[in-house]
């Protein structure tokens, strides 16, 4: 959408969220959701199936799957049609997803962010997104959800049970 500035022939882009339709960003730490350092393609497909049964994907939603280099091939084959981020190290996938949150103007581009991880490293970013008016949903296994991340989310969905929890604001 372009706006004409009165008294001028110059066009300016509309500011803020007006430029973008409502859509979601799904940030997936696949090793965290699968519960292991090197999940197989079949395990990743199972995680994707459980995830898709619990969340609706919009036509314009974006999925980012992060993993270690050792898991990349399984991730790409097990969760196709996503954007893949790869980094070595103990928290490599977390750091890749945090880079997306920090450098890609997520709050201006997305109305909903789903964090597929239970790691507390995402708590500060989740709280910041919520303060900016973005709906933050956390998808995690029950035994790996950080208390700080649970508090920062507006909703928590557990992959290993049929139950989800809505956090009171």
pLDDT score, position 165: 53
pLDDT tens-digit profile, the chain (169 residues): 333 334 444 344 444 445 667 899 999 999 999 999 999 999 999 999 999 999 988 899 999 999 999 999 999 999 999 999 999 998 999 999 999 999 999 999 999 999 999 999 999 999 999 999 999 999 999 999 999 999 999 999 999 875 555 554 4
Do 152 and 121 form a contact (C-beta atoms < 8 A)?
no
At 21 the pLDDT is 78
Rounded Cα distance between 140 and 56, Å, is 16
Distance CA 142, CA 163 (A): 10
Q: What pLDDT shows up at residue 160?
A: 86
Tell me the C-alpha to C-alpha distance, in Å, between residue 107 and each of 34, 44, 60, 76, 153. 27, 28, 15, 27, 15
Give the per-residue pLDDT at 69.
Answer: 97
The Cα 111–Cα 61 span in angstroms is 10
3-class state of residue 123 by DSSP? helix
Q: How many angstroms separate the CA atoms of 83 and 16, rounded?
A: 24
Compute the distance between CA of residue 88 and CA of residue 29 in angstroms, rounded to an integer.
Answer: 13
Is the distance from CB of 38 to CB of 70 less than 8 angstroms? yes
In this prediction the pTM is 0.84
């Amino acid at each position: 959408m372009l706006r004409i500035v009165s008294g001028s022939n110059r066009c300016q882009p509309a500011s803020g969220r007006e430029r973008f339709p409502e859509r979601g960003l799904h940030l997936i730490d696949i090793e965290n959701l699968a519960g292991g350092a090197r999940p197989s393609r079949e395990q990743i497909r199972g995680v994707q199936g459980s995830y898709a049964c619990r969340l609706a994907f919009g036509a314009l939603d974006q999925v980012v799957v992060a993993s270690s280099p050792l898991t990349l091939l399984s991730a790409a084959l097990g969760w196709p049609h996503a954007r893949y981020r790869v980094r070595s190290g103990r928290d490599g996938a977390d750091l890749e997803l945090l880079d997306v949150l920090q450098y890609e103007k997520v709050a201006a581009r997305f109305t909903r962010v789903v964090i597929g991880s239970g790691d507390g490293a995402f708590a500060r970013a989740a709280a910041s997104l919520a303060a900016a008016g973005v709906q933050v949903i956390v998808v995690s296994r029950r035994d790996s959800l950080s208390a700080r991340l649970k508090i920062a989310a507006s909703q928590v969905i557990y992959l290993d049970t049929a139950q989800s929890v809505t956090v009171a604001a």
